[in-house]
Structure 1
């Protein structure tokens, strides 16, 4: 019974905040929201509360674990000479370097036109169910596979023609999703079932929040049809050149994440030490108290709300890898429900640094549209965070 109470409080929180910042409260799309929310409940129920779904989630997790083992072959060949203390784990080698291998696989699937096929028809089905618009549905699915900033290149011809409302929706989708290249790395830090479920739910959560924060209708005249084969720009370059590009992109991503982790973790450590010396309380603990009401309304047990609130804030201020790393260290001290909610909440790109990445990506395509994104950047971060709250709340229903 209490699970449903907290489902309602979490939904009420998302709707209330979204309503307060909505661009047009009279046009909030309740029917679309209802359809997508029902679809979320169905997906989460099948993934987390049925024997077949649980078995499927286990199989997917095992598959990604197997991929990590294959990636270890290349990592060990290059870094195998390093002397590492027995039983120790090096985050850069064990979690980040496999991104290079996963990126290569994504490149192969894209080259073989498997990803364009999946994105095209999944986006088509989503549009038929939710009626969000062909472009929005296509892009929402694309973000869950391709990641950013590359995903914006798939619609670069359309971006200059979008109005501010449609531009907001695609940017919110980009922040609420995670790319396929990092899924295996996430699964090294939290249970794979939460990663996979969150990926599915986040596609819909971003669109649901957009129906509140940014409601609009797409008329037939305004609809910008998307040719997915053109949009995904399946390369005509030689196979090994394409593969090499994806491998280099994967390595750049891994090293970029590593640099950000070094900087952000050091900054958080500095703030914790400074606050402890001056106020006798750590900075992350202060953040935990600030976000604990949100965690409570999502259904996090009262004994976990400070720790979970701290992780929620850490993700927004730094990035999901920092927060997932901290969660991995304290997961055993949290309840199963608290673990499920925060694990699902963290699986998105909703943080300050990604706002900059998205703004820069759009600006590189269209100076004018980049200016629009910069103006609603904080509203974009709020919407993506609400989407994460919605996803975490729904997952908490089953624990």
Structure 2
């Protein structure tokens, strides 16, 4: 299985090279670094006990948020929001109504994200990820910020981090930003998936977060192969 996964990394990289708009400008060093980062992140996030314990704690936090949200929706909407059903549920799961169970959780996570941004906690985390991507994969400042933000917030919110620089970004940088937006999972949706899959997959939040983090260098690698950088990188920092 491990060999199959590693072979898949190289196969999809080769496939991206075949459809690249400028094969001669593809930087093999960046591709190799991107693949190496994915493998390293996989080992670190999935094998080291410290990270496994962290993901278990994170999973408990998600469950606590979901329980608190369900308590509120039950108080307001009754059984529509997750309270005891006044009738027998013939089909398992049919009592789950997205508008009353999932949307409130998304609103809660959106509010928490805004609060973390206001308290300058989220920008600090994003800056750290951005610095790592700039140093390892040679991204521009604005590009690194946008990609890092995509790991934690949605595809709509991430470009707002670098709004003053969007008009200056190169075609390759814009493509990378879009690719990472498609590859990663927004924090609000991440929590929603975890709440839905908690009974099926133990420690689901850790799996989803790991997939989202690993997808960032993967998306950068693929995007830089398909649309290589041929112009000067766009600088930019998060204020």
State TM-score, norm by structure 2.
Answer: 0.84
8 A contact 2:162–2:238 mirrored in 1: no
Q: Distance in 1 between matches of 2:36 and 2:143?
A: 19
- Whether the aligned pair in 2 keeps the contact of 1:143 and 1:178 (CA below 8 Å) is yes
- Preserved contact between residue 143 and residue 173 of structure 1 (Cα < 8 Å): yes
Q: Is the 8 A contact 1:143 1:174 kept in 2?
A: yes
Q: Are 2:190 and 1:177 aligned? A: no
Contact 2:35 2:221 (8 Å CA) reproduced: yes
Q: Secondary structure at the match of 1:55?
A: helix
Taking structure 1 as reference, are residues 86 and 38 closer, same or farther at Cα in structure 2, changes over 3 Å only? farther
Q: Which of 43, 46, 53 matches 2:51?
A: 53
Counterpart in the other structure of 1:226: 236
CA–CA separation in structure 1 for the residues paired with 2:68 and 2:104: 12
Q: Does 1:117 align with 2:124?
A: yes
Task: Give 1:100's match in structure 2, choosing from 66, 88, 107.
Answer: 107
Matched residues in 2 for 1:148 and 1:19: separation? 25
| CA 126–165 in structure 1, closer or farther in 2 if over 3 Å, else same | closer
Q: What corresponds to 1:3 in structure 2?
A: 2
Report the alpha carbon displacement of residue 218 of structure 1 after superposing the two structures with TM.
5.0
Alignment root-mean-square deviation, CA:
2.1
- Structure of greater relative contact order (alpha carbons < 8 Å, 6+ residues apart): 2
1:79 alignment partner, one of 77, 80, 84 = 77
Unaligned runs of 5+ in 1: 230-399
Aligned length: 224
User: Any conservation in 1 of the 2:141–2:236 contact (CA below 8 Å)?
Assistant: yes
Aligned 1:199-238 pairs, distance under 5 A: 199-219=212-232, 223-229=233-239
Residues 47 and 53 in structure 1, CA contact (< 8 A), matched pair in contact too: yes
